[in-house]
Amino acid sequence: MAWRGQLSKNLKELRVLFCQSSPASSATRAFVEKNYQDLKALNPKLPFLIRECRGVEPQLWARYDMGVERGVRLEGLSEPQILKALEDLAKAGAAATKA
């Protein structure tokens, strides 16, 4: 999982949106609780924003160079699937920087 340490090279910002209490956001809440510290320690300068709002659909957003953003809906995904979605967003950023 070397890509985890490369997030700050491929992304300008990472945002996670979820509801504090809804069952649809439970996997996203667990993902943040288990992975935030590690991801932040590996990428201390990367803005990693956690946005909690009642009733919001769980989402993961990545901002790249030139203000380009890409989002993924997380409803119905498990923690490993959320991690895979983050990896895909990071790889998309790496591909964009090479182009």
pTM of the entire predicted model: 0.90
What is the chain's mean pLDDT, rounded? 93
Per-residue pLDDT at 70 exceeds 90: yes
Domain of 25 in residue numbering reads as: 6-94
CA–centroid distance for 92 within its chain? 13
In a domain, 76, yes or no: yes
CATH of the domain at 36: 3.40.30.10
In a domain, 31, yes or no: yes
From CA 36, how far away is CA 16, in angstroms rounded? 10
Residue 94 pLDDT level (bands cut at 50, 70, 90): confident
From CA 51, how far away is CA 63, in angstroms rounded? 15
| Whole-number pLDDT of residue 97 | 63
Give the CA count within 13 Å in the CB-facing half-sphere of 53. Answer: 9
In a domain, 99, yes or no: no
In a domain, 56, yes or no: yes
In a domain, 65, yes or no: yes
Number of domains in the chain: 1
> What value does the mean pLDDT take over residues 37-58?
96
Per-residue pLDDT at 9 exceeds 80: yes
From CA 32, how far away is CA 70, in angstroms rounded? 19
